[in-house]
Chains A and B, each alone.
Chain A
Amino acid sequence: MSTPTDRPQPMLAVEGLVVKYGARTAVDGVGFAIGRGEIVGLLGPNGAGKTTTLSVIEGLRAPHAGTVTVDGVDALRHPIDARARMGVQLQSSGFQPELSIEQLLRLYAGLYGVRMSHREALDALNDTGLERESGKRLKNLSGGQQQRFSLLIASIHNPLLLLLDEPTSGLDPQSRRSLWQRIENSRRGGGSILLTTHSMEEAQAVCDRIVIIDHGKLVATGSPAELIATHRDDPRVLALAHGEPTLEDVFIALTGSDLRD
């Protein structure tokens, strides 16, 4: 089993990424890397460019500049090879509404090259606590069940790189924690994870390292503890903190307190 240190090549390397929507620059020179087995949180206010950054890595959008390398594969030149190495949970998951979750599971397993019998599909759903829902449509599942299902689809082929866009948004605390556990578990196979979240608690609980972006630009990067330690004496942080500075104080200090929506 590989550990983060025994191979120098990062699992994901993003360099100088620029994405424009018309005249508007949504991502402006973002670069970061993720080591093997590492869980990294991509944080930023609404509209910061998180989903756009992920969509370039996933090959859904061509950037105006920059490179993306997944496990040594140039993801912009060889998107199919890169996608075979990643599992993706989109911010809004579009699954065919006519299909049951078992049918969806077997469809996506097949698309990732995993042959799955009816029995194996039920086993996988069982591991996800969805065995009794196998015949249901996704829309008839609770929010937590839907997110668990979406994570199951993303990790069905034990990907080297898992990309999760706001995997726990809208979940109750129980579902959130159970999902954190699953995210944590999915790295046991040696894979790396890049996730976006608005929850500082989540970032601290699950992520080894955090990348903060705002207005499409990289603002800060480091482990939660490093970020707090580096910025604890920043006057903007001091003005916000009640007692010990928290990650949230640092985040707001770095990205400003005006509302984005």
Chain B
Amino acid sequence: MTDTTTIATPSIGLTLRSLLRADATVIARSRQTLILNLAVPILILVITDRAAARPGGNALGGQASGVMIALALAYGLLSSSLLGYSITVARDREAGVFQRLRVTPTPTWAIMLSRLLVQFAAAIVTSIIVIVVGGIMHHVSYGAGSYVLIFLVALYGAAMFLGIGQAIVGLIRSTTAVNAVGRVLYIVLLLLGILGISGALGDTFTNVSKWTPVGALITLFAAVQNTGAWSSDDTWSTVAIGAYLVVFSVIGIRWFQWESN
């Protein structure tokens, strides 16, 4: 230790670099989470591929492989951005990780920004893997422009799910309750999406499910894979995702508490 005392507040660049390195390490070390993020999307791709390969068979309700890949992408993001984010934030809040960070001269927005940036990176990685696996299983490939659009939609969808995740940790203080609500919401959104696409529960159900967060995201993912045909539904899905993003983020930030008790 030297004899000098540090008084100047640290530069924000060094602060963010330090936080990003730590948050990226944490996420990379959570292998279990990463595998779970990919398990459901890849399962969807495998099942729909098998179904389509059966003689006379087709994927869920006769949907094109583009929709199946869209479904898989949406679930990858749902799991990593909504479930992964809210559970880690709740856990770190209860374990006092935020408390420990907040007694350093770090602005709270930097703590959150770093976490969000790392989540966006994870969303992109998840999307790349799903797109590659989906392309192989369903024998599709895209032009460079489509890839760019797919990743833009992935970021947009990730932002919406992070917003919903933020709302969950904003409204619920208990870690156990965040875990439970996150998982229930995951399953509900998963079923809404799959049942909606399959058309199994009728047109009304399909029409409603189309405008849920997952439904709108699937519409948008399907649209950007097939750039030729942009419909008004696609536009409205874009608007719906933006609305979910804003509303849930505002709720989540407004009511967020840094302490669990």
Q: How many Å lie between the Cα of A104 and that of B96 in the bound state? A: 14
A74-109 interface with B by 8 A CB criterion: 80-81, 83-86, 88, 90, 92-99, 103-104, 106-109
Interface string of A92-129 (1 = CB under 8 A from B): 11111111000110111111111100000000000100
A259 interfacial by beta-carbon distance below 8 Å = no
Q: In the assembled complex, which residues on chain A have CB atoms less than 8 Å from the CB atom of B106?
A: 80, 111
Q: How many Å lie between the Cα of A198 and that of B200 in the bound state? A: 66
Q: How many Å lie between the Cα of A106 and that of B19 in the bound state? A: 10
A222 interfacial by beta-carbon distance below 8 Å = no
Q: In the assembled complex, which residues on chain A have CB atoms less than 8 Å from the CB atom of B105?
A: 80-81, 83-84, 111-113
Q: A99–B7 contact, CB under 8 A?
A: no
Residue of A nearest to B99 (CB): A94
A-B pair number, CB within 8 angstroms: 126
**Stretch in B10-18, B154-162, B181-189 touching the partner:** B10-18
Given contacts A94-B98, A110-B18, contact A59 B26 (CB under 8 A): no
Residue of A nearest to B3 (CB): A189
CB distance from A192 to the nearest CB of B (A): 11
Q: B8–A113 contact, CB under 8 A?
A: yes
Q: In the assembled complex, which residues on chain A have CB atoms less than 8 Å from the CB atom of B99?
A: 60, 90, 94
Q: In the assembled complex, which residues on chain A have CB atoms less than 8 Å from the CB atom of B6?
A: 84, 112-114, 157-159
Q: How many of A's residues come within 8 Å of B, CB to CB?
A: 45
CB distance from A115 to the nearest CB of B (A): 7
A249 interfacial by beta-carbon distance below 8 Å = no
Q: How many Å lie between the Cα of A111 and that of B98 in the bound state? A: 13
Q: B3–A190 contact, CB under 8 A?
A: yes
Q: How many Å lie between the Cα of A133 and that of B97 in the bound state? A: 21
Q: How many Å lie between the Cα of A97 and that of B99 in the bound state? A: 14
Q: A88–B2 contact, CB under 8 A?
A: no
Residue in A95, A107, A113 whose beta carbon sits within 8 Å of that of B10 in the complex = A113
Q: In the assembled complex, which residues on chain A have CB atoms less than 8 Å from the CB atom of B7?
A: 71, 84-85, 160
Residue in A85, A94, A99, A106 whose beta carbon sits within 8 Å of that of B96 in the complex = A94
CB distance from B259 to the nearest CB of A (A): 8
B101 interfacial by beta-carbon distance below 8 Å = yes
Residue of A nearest to B17 (CB): A110
Q: B8–A107 contact, CB under 8 A?
A: no
User: Can you list the 9 inter-chain pairs with the closest CB atoms, starting with the nearest?
Assistant: A94-B96, A110-B18, A113-B10, A84-B105, A88-B103, A111-B104, A98-B29, A83-B105, A107-B22
22 A/B residue pairs, CB under 8 Å, sorted by A: A59-B102, A80-B105, A84-B8, A90-B96, A90-B100, A94-B97, A94-B100, A96-B26, A106-B21, A107-B18, A107-B19, A108-B104, A110-B21, A113-B6, A113-B10, A160-B7, A186-B1, A189-B2, A189-B4, A189-B5, A190-B3, A190-B5
20 further interface pairs, Cβ-Cβ under 8 Å (given A59-B103, A85-B5): A60-B103, A60-B258, A81-B9, A81-B105, A84-B10, A92-B96, A94-B97, A94-B100, A95-B97, A97-B95, A98-B25, A98-B29, A106-B21, A109-B18, A110-B15, A113-B10, A113-B105, A185-B1, A189-B3, A189-B4
Chain A residues packing against B (C-beta within 8 Å): 1, 58-60, 71, 80-81, 83-86, 88, 90, 92-99, 103-104, 106-115, 127, 155, 157-160, 185-186, 188-191
Chain B residues packing against A (C-beta within 8 Å): 1-11, 14-15, 17-19, 21-22, 25-26, 29-30, 92, 95-107, 258-259
